[in-house]
Every structure is written in C-alpha cells, then in structure tokens.
Amino acid sequence: MTGLAIERTDGPFGAVVRGLDLREAPDGALAEQLREAWLEHQVLVFPDQELDLEQLEAVAEAFGPIGEDPFFRPIPGQPHVVALTREADETTPLFADVWHSDWSFLPTPPAGTLLYGVDIPPVGGDTLYADQHGAYESLPPDLRERIEGLVGIHSAQRGYAKQGLYGDRDEGRSMAIVASDDALATQPHPLVRTHPETGRKALYVSLAYTIGIEGLDDDAANALVFELIAHAARPEHVHRHRWAPGTVALWDNRCLLHCATGGYEGHRRELHRLTIAERPTT
C-alpha cells in the first residue's frame, strides 16, 4: 500500500503504523502484512484514527475472530465492544493496574486485545507492556530450571468474584463490571507457554490471575509468582505507551503482560475495547 510505514518505536519492542485509514478495515494481503508486523513487534499502534463502533469491530475482525469478554457489560447495541471509563471525580481503585495477560483464566485466552482512545486525559493514563519472550530468554539458568514443567492455576476470583476487588463492595465505579460466582473457576496453564504462531517461548504468569502453582503450597507459589513478575517487569522488558485521542493499540496477550497507570485525577478517560480470539487451527 502506497504510503504505509511500519516504524519501530524507541522502546524494546512495539511499532507505529502510519499512512493507513482504518475506517476501511484491512483485508487480504494488507491484513496479513499487518498480522506479520504484529507478531514481530508485539504491539502495533495506529495514530490519528476516527472510528465508530462498527468500524472498530471490523478492524478487530481483520486480525481474527472476536473474543469473549466475561464480567464486562458491553456498550448497548454493540455486544462485542466494552467501554473502559473512569470519570473525572471517580475515587474507586484504579482498574487493571497490576501486571496481567487478558483473561488468562479462560481455557483458551484471547490472542490479542484492541483498544481505541476516545476521551484521553492530558496527563497520565499510560499503558505499560512487558515482553515475556525477553523475560523467559533472560531468566537465570537456575530459575529457568526451577519452573520447567510447572503449571500455574489461573482464576478471575481476585477481581471479579462477588467478594473480589470489583465485586459487590465496589461502589461508584463508572465501568460496567458484572461480578459473578463464575469468577471462582480455575484454569491451569504452563508457566512457560509456546506462542502458537511464532513458536517462541514466553513466561505466562500474572499478578492478577495466577492464584497458585500446581504442586506448591500457597506460600511457595506466591513467592515464585512474585519472583517471576519482578524479573518479567524489569525495565529492559517494558515499553510505555502514551495515549492520544484517536489512537488504536493492538497487542499480543500470548507474549506480553500489561498494566494500567494513573496520574490523571480530575480528568475523564474512556477507551473502547475488544478482544481477538485465536484463529481456528483447521
């Protein structure tokens, strides 16, 4: 495509895509080119877009089937799009401000997440990403050996159970979160996963959702989770994304952790979100 440019960011990973109007969703060879860039760079950022909800969904579909979003109530009339909102005077705990990979408690977690900046504060609200390929590859040999073959236990209970952070006692939140006993379910995933498209290994552990490790007692499991996260989120593995209105960001949940940041008290913030499921294998 004439004018299309994919430029590496100045961080350890990530790329900015310029010269593309996403009101016409990419398809065919262009969609595959962008998917290859996504797999290479892990985060793609598309600045200066003007998208309605249907156009945003079409962009997500260019990268794979739309994924499920449990525990969120979608925007009315748009069943796949969630509004991540925080009002200017809101005092509830910041949403999603711990390291996690989206919905890792599902049997098949989403391949990607797509966010679109609608109402962006003039300060704060950056999203941090941490490269879990790099984290795995730089593990000390003794730690890599310790986690070989271990399986993490993932659950949404800390956040989305009725007694969780976003549960029945969470009053005054503008986001449409639906706490449920379904969040008590657990799902095993290896602490080291192999990316299904690239074949590269990555750490797969989360402060938000990894509640235990098979074969370890709670104290040992928690200590190991914190040790891995401390390594995974070292500065050399982290990229900071600064939002602007009209920016689309697409990231790969299979090899990245991410977390929200604050610093925009007194300002309203809204982004629109979809998840992207794994492509069918047959």
Read off the pLDDT of residues 150-207 as tens digits, 9 standing for 90 and up.
999 999 999 999 999 999 999 999 999 999 999 999 999 999 999 999 999 999 999 9
Q: Which residues of 62-94 are buried (b: 16+ CB within 10 A; e: fewer)?
A: bbbebbebebbebeeebebbbbbbbeeebeeee
Summarised one tens digit per residue, pLDDT across range 98-142 is: 999 999 999 999 999 999 999 999 999 999 999 999 999 999 999
According to the model, what pLDDT value does residue 87 have? 98
Q: pTM for this structure?
A: 0.96
Please report the domains of the chain, with CATH numbers, ordered by start residue: 67-240+252-276 (3.60.130.10)
Nearest to 238 by CA among 251, 256, 264, 225: 256
C-alpha span between 144 and 131 (Å, rounded): 16
Question: Given this model, what pLDDT does residue 282 score?
Answer: 56
Tens-place pLDDT, residues 54-85 = 999 999 999 999 999 999 999 999 999 999 99
Residue 2: the pLDDT is 58
pLDDT, tens digit, for every residue of 8-17? 998 899 999 9
How far is Cα 7 from Cα 16, in angstroms, rounded to an integer?
5
Work out the end-to-end distance of the chain between its first and last CA atoms, rounded to an integer number of angstroms.
29
Residue 150: CB atoms within 10 A of its CB come to 16
The secondary structure of 47-98, three-state, reads CCCCCCHHHHHHHHHCCCCECCCCCECCCCCCCCCEEEEECCCCCCCCCCCC
Q: Is the pLDDT of residue 1 over 60?
A: no
pLDDT at 280: 85
- pLDDT for residue 219: 98
Quote the strand ranges of the chain, DSSP E.
5-8, 15-18, 43-46, 82-86, 112-119, 127-131, 151-155, 186-190, 192-194, 201-203, 210-213, 238-241, 248-252, 256-260, 269-276
CA dist 186 and 197 (Å) reads 26
CA atoms 108, 277, 243, 17: torsion sign: positive
Average pLDDT rounded to a whole number, residues 208-213:
98
Residue 180 confidence (pLDDT)? 97
The pLDDT tens digits for 235-276 are: 999 999 999 999 999 999 999 999 999 999 999 999 999 999
Q: Collapsing DSSP states into helix, strand and coil, what is residue 229?
A: helix
- CA count, 13 A, side-chain hemisphere, 187: 17
Distance CA 98, CA 232 (A): 13
Nearest alpha carbon to residue 87 among 272, 264, 273: 264
